Structure 1
Amino acid sequence: MISQLSWKIGGQQGEGVESTDRIFSTALNRLGYYLYGYRHFSSRIKGGHTNNKIRISTAPMRAISDDLDILVAFDQESIDLNAHELRGGGVIVADAKFNPTVPEDVNARLFAVPITSIAEELGTSLMKNMVASGASWALLGLPLEVFNKAVEEEFGRKGPAIVEKNIEAVKRGAEFVLEQAGGPLEDFRLGPADGKQKLFIIGNEAIGLGAIAGGCRLMSAYPITPASEIMEYLIKKLPKFGGTVVQTEDEIAAVTMAIGANYAGVRTMTASAGPGLSLMMEAIGLSGMTEQPLVIVDTQRGGPSTGLPTKQEQSDLNAMVYGTHGEIPKVVIAPASIEDCFYDTIEAFNISEEYQVPVIVMTDLQLSLGKQSCEVFDYSTVEIRRGKLVQDAPAEDNAEQFKRFEFTEDGISPRVLPGVKGGLHHVTGVEHDEVGRPSESAVNRVKMMDKRLNKLNTLQIRDAIRVDAPHESPELLIIGMGSTGGTIDEARERLAADGVTSNHVTIRQIHPFPTAQLAPYIEQAKRVIVVENNATAQLAAQVKLHAGYGDKIKSLLKYDGNPFLPAEVHKACKEMN
């Protein structure tokens, strides 16, 4: 038996690849396996090659596998583009309709299954994805009844007749390939799963769930890849909690609506990708100047401009830290796992209200859309902190207005909602005094700027850096952010086998930068390698700017639209050592 394997399905977009992957992985999740998925898809509705890859394991892991065990191909292009990933002795399950061939330099077993023909015999070629699923599932020797339950869940809303036909398609595919192969493939039998209950979701769904748990009751947003799933998830779920989602005409309307709703006291968020974040910049400055809470999720993708809207990149860091004109306090946090997406979203709302600042939650496409196993969320840890929100604001003697922007020792002023007795004050995007009246006084300007900029001095989020440092003086310190963490950990296991000692730091508080926490680990290491999906080493620049040690820091960059593989990080780190 083996402890893990990798399965991929490829075909034309709109051909059922996504639904096949969804049912296949759902059934595996029901058996208790750990899963990590990656979607390669085109920026179009239909057509163009697409593939979904799932890594299946008996133990936790958070990275794409370097190689591939089983490839399910709906066309020859899928074989030509993906067969090179197959390990020696790997398997291709292909539709016999296109007379599949295996490239000469690929050592793989081919099972040509009449996938389309079987589906058409059952009434429609649309069921070919179920035929293919049944074939590959049977080769693994997994129980068919578990897969059938996943099929029932997927198609149950369409009626029992449709369910029965799809189950029959699964059965026919399984029977055909088992006869051809002489039974399940013994070298592909997975060891038993641990049986623990797990969630199997994408990061965007975890963000949406975190928003609900964190008290969000309004989302204003405009659709954009790869952020749209947050909005789609909340459209279904928020109304059940008395909330709603408003699809605005553009990102400018989305962010200004969020600021207005937060001013009125409703926890509100918006979500976008790089192009949408650019449009929001002026309004983010408004949030900073008026000290209104604001939560934005930026799901990074390939840029600039439209760029690679369906591909992996981590190139918005500078935009999030420096993008707004003028100088305002803001917070940028970077979840590094599905669990982080949930808990960090809750914390983003708390930080935003406590410090009265915009908070940007920075994810990347792989973390946002890659479906993964994760621990069940612990709702008992959720707390709602609203900071200096004043419920009753009696006016001071002889004071006509509430000091909404009062100079305080910590720089954070009392906040009042519209309509509260005694809470009358001005709100304006120009510089203002303590009650919000416009002011161009030089003395007031300096005091207000200092007040705003200094109020984050005490901020430190939970796990501002996440550290795995078993060595006091390692040869390497590897630094990453976002979805790179699991890949780095696997690379470190291989480095250890090579006799190379390494520590790992994931930076989760991007701004304000956690210099004091990070610097000691840099100082201890002989060399530092910063791993990031961009071309200009934006995270490494932040490390050098704030922590120094530029002479020992090197960058490992990837910006071809694909996530890092463990083998790539291992090889590069070994060469740089």
Structure 2
Amino acid sequence: MRNQLSWKVGGQQGEGIESTGEIFATALNRLGYYLYGYRHFSSRIKGGHTNNKIRVSTTPLNSISDDLDILVAFDQETIDVNIHELREVGVVIADAKFNPVLPEGSVARLFAVPFTEIANDLGTSLMKNMVAVGASSAILGLEPDEYREVVEEIFLKKGQSIVDKNMEAIHAGAAHFKEEADGNLPNLQLEKADGKKRMFMIGNDAIGMGAVAAGSRFMAAYPITPASEIMEYMIKKLPEFGGTVIQTEDEIAACTMAIGANYAGVRSFTASAGPGLSLMAEAIGLSGMTETPLVIMDTQRGGPSTGLPTKQEQSDLMAMIYSTHGDIPKIVIAPSSVEEAFYDTVEAFNLAEEYQCPVILVTDLALSLGKQTVEPLDFNRVEIRRGKLDLAAELPERENSAYFKRYEVTEDGISPRVIPGMKNGVHHVTGVEHDETGKPSESPENRKAQMDKRMRKVNNLPKQFKDPLFVDAKHDEADLLVIGVNSTRGTIQEAMPRLEADGVKVNHAQVRLLHPFPADELKPLIDRAKKVVVVENNATAQLATIIKMNIGTDKIQNLLKYDGNPFLPNELHQSCKELV
């Protein structure tokens, strides 16, 4: 019996590969297994190789696996492309329709199961994915009926007969595999899970859930991979809370609509990827100059230009911090897990209103679209903080119709805020430099006072932000400090025990607040390490550069990967070992 294994299904995009993985994983989640999934897919609607790799365990997981135990293939390309991941005791279950063959020298076991033929006999070839799920259940030692609850959720709206047909396909797949194995089943049966109910979701869903919990009631966005699922989630959920989602003509319109709604007092946001973030640069400056709250979700993908829209990368870091023309205060938050994505989204809305500035919450494709087991969220941790906006306040009357000092120079850099319609709150709003009432002003003294006021807003944020770093540092003096951002956290955590077993003392820090940078919090960890390695998915070492700019260390060595794939634990282990 195994307490952990890795399963992958592959084929041509558009033939049910995603649904196969979804049904397989959801059923295991309901049984109490921990899961971590990663999808490889092409940047086109139909066609091109796609696969879904799912790691299953009786204990918590933090990353995808190095290798593969079971490969379910709907075409020969799936075998050819993925066979190198298969362990020596691995198994390939392939559709007999394409006469599957293993590459010369492969020692894996091949089981040809007639997915398509069985499905056709049951009425439609569309059910071949259910036959494959059934064959997989036989390997794992699971009963086909374990999938009934999930199948009913998906298909019952189409009628009980459809549910029964799909269950029949699962049973047929399991029976045929056992017959093919002829009593010699692979040793891949899973130990029983604890049966506890846990959430199973992608980072984008956690962001959407966090936005709703934070009180956001308006989203404006333009669809783009890998951010679109945030918009899809909000389209389904926001109307239930009296909210609205608008699909705009482009990202410029989306950003300015979000600014306008926030100005009116509605917590609003937009979500995009690198190309969309580039288009929003001028509007982000407008948010900074008018001191209007703005929340943006940036889900990083391969660039530049259209680049690799469906592949992993972390190359927007500099763009998020420095792309806006002129100087404005800005906050950039980087969650490193699906759970953090939920809580950090709530915090993004709070910070945007408290500091009256743009807040960018950044993820990467692996975190945005990777589906993971998540412990039940604690909604008691959710709090709404609106800063210097009091909708119930009675503003004092002003003599001679004087305007409200919306941009009053204050010690903390944060001015009082009102929304349209509040009595005695009339003021100007403009994107040019302005005085305390919002009236345009080119006075050098006023310019410096307003600029200084805006820029000192976030000076103390790293000390006020809860956990600007995720830290796992048990050594007072470490041979190696590994630093990462976003989804690399889980891979680093899995590589650390392997390095410790090699005799390397390892500490780990994951940057969760990119700007303003938590230099005072990170520097002591760097000082305590002989060497520092920064792990990131880009070609120009952007995170390492940001660290050097803020701390000035010469200890850093770069570990970069920019081929569109996330880091694997073993390659991280080996690369770090070589650097020590």
If the length of structure 2 is used for normalisation, what is the TM-score? 0.98
Residues 32 and 196, structure 2, Cα contact 8 Å, conserved in 1: yes
Q: Is the 8 A contact 2:481 2:531 kept in 1?
A: yes
SS at match of 1:188: coil
**Structure 1: gaps of 5 or more residues:** none
1:566 alignment counterpart: 569
Distance, in Å, in 2 between the alignment partners of 1:473 and 1:540 is 21
Match of 2:543 in 1: 539
Correspondence for 1:374: 374
Give distance in 2, aligned partners of 1:106 and 1:33: 30
Q: Distance in 2 between matches of 1:185 and 1:211?
A: 47
- Range that drifts further, 506-515 or 192-201: 192-201
CA distance in structure 1 between the partners assigned to 2:196 and 2:186 by the alignment: 25
Cα offset, 1:398, TM superposition: 4.2
C-alpha contact 2:145 2:167 (8 A) present in aligned 1? no
CA distance in 1, matches of 2:419, 2:548: 42
Structure 2 residue aligned with 1:477, among 481, 495, 516? 481
Deviations 1:185-215 (A, max 9, x none): 3621112213332100000000000000000
In 2 relative to 1, CA 183–339 (structure 1 residues): closer, same or farther, beyond 3 Å? Answer: farther
Partner residue, 1:358: 358
Distance 2:107 2:357 in 1: 57
> Which runs of structure 2 are paired with 1:123-142 in the superposition (5 Å)?
123-142=123-142
Correspondence for 1:489 = 493
Give 1:547 shift.
1.2
Q: Is the 8 A contact 2:478 2:529 kept in 1?
A: yes
Given that 1:76 and 1:98 are in contact with CA atoms closer than 8 Å, whether structure 2 keeps it comes out as yes
Q: Is the 8 A contact 2:403 2:426 kept in 1?
A: yes
- Amino acid of the structure 1 residue aligned with 2:410: T
- Give yes or no for the alignment of 1:268 onto 2:275: no
Q: Which residue of 1 aligns with 2:95?
A: 95
Q: Indicate if the aligned counterparts of 1:393 and 1:402 stay in contact, CA closer than 8 A.
A: no
1:64 matches 2:68: no
Q: In structure 1, give the amino acid aligned to 2:522.
A: L
Match of 1:406 in 2: 408
Cα distance between partner residues in 1 of 2:376 and 2:70: 29
Residue identity opposite 2:495 in structure 1: A
- Once residues 106 and 18 of structure 2 are traced to their aligned partners in structure 1, the CA distance between those partners, rounded to angstroms, is 26
Separation in 2, partners of 1:333, 1:278: 18
The equivalent position to 2:435 in structure 1, one of 425, 433, 436, is 433
C-alpha distance in structure 2 between counterparts of 1:135 and 1:499, whole Å: 43
Q: Distance in 2 between matches of 1:358 and 1:482?
A: 20
Measure, in 1, the Cα distance between the counterparts of 2:235 and 2:316: 27
- Comparing 119-128 with 184-193, greater Cα deviation is found at 184-193
* Greater Cα offset, 189-198 or 316-325: 189-198
Distance 2:76 2:97 in 1: 10
Give the percent of matched residue pairs that are identical in Structure 1 and Structure 2.
Answer: 68
Seen in structure 2, the aligned counterparts of structure 1 residues 183 and 350 have a Cα distance that, compared at 3 Å, is farther
Unaligned runs of 5+ in 2: none
TM-superposed deviation, 1:61: 1.3
2:503 maps to 1:499: yes
Q: State which drifts further: 131-140 or 208-217.
A: 131-140
Q: Matched residue of 2:92: which SS? A: strand
| SS of residue paired to 2:90 | strand
Q: Are residues 1:245 and 2:245 paired?
A: yes
Question: Is 1:121 paired with 2:125?
Answer: no
Corresponding letter in the other structure for 1:573: C
Within 5 Å, which residues of 2 pair with 1:239-318?
239-318=239-318
Amino acid at match of 2:429: V
Query: How far apart, in 2, do the equivalents of 1:505 and 1:395 lie?
Result: 52
Deviations 1:67-89 (A, max 9, x none): 00000000000000001100011
Alpha-carbon distance in 1 for matches of 2:80, 2:105: 11
Deviation, 1:98, is: 0.6
Q: 1:430-452 CA deviation, whole Å, 9 max, x = no partner?
A: 00000000000000000000000
Q: Which one is further off, 215-224 or 140-149?
A: 140-149
Equivalence for 2:222: 222
C-alpha separation in 2, matches of 1:531 and 1:455: 31
Q: CA RMSD in A?
A: 0.9
Please give the per-residue CA displacement for 1:375-423, whole angstroms capped at 9, x wherever unaligned. 1110011100000013322234445110000011101000001010000
The equivalences for 1:322-401 within 5 A come to 322-391=322-391, 392-398=394-400, 400-401=402-403
- Conservation of the 8 A alpha-carbon contact between 2:31 and 2:196: no
Equivalent position SS for 1:574:
helix
Contact 1:395 1:402 in 2 (8 A): no
d(CA) in 1 for partners of 2:192 and 2:337? Answer: 25
Q: Which residue of 2 aligns with 1:521?
A: 525
Cα distance per residue 1:310-332 (max 9 Å; x no partner):
00000000000001000000000
Pick one of 511, 522, 525 that aligns with 2:515.
511
Shift of 1:183: 4.6
Residue 62 of structure 1 and its aligned partner are, at CA, apart by: 1.1
The yes-or-no answer on 1:207 pairing with 2:207 is yes
Amino acid at match of 2:390: V
Q: What is the rounded CA distance, in whole Å, between the counterparts of 1:170 and 1:184 in structure 2?
A: 20
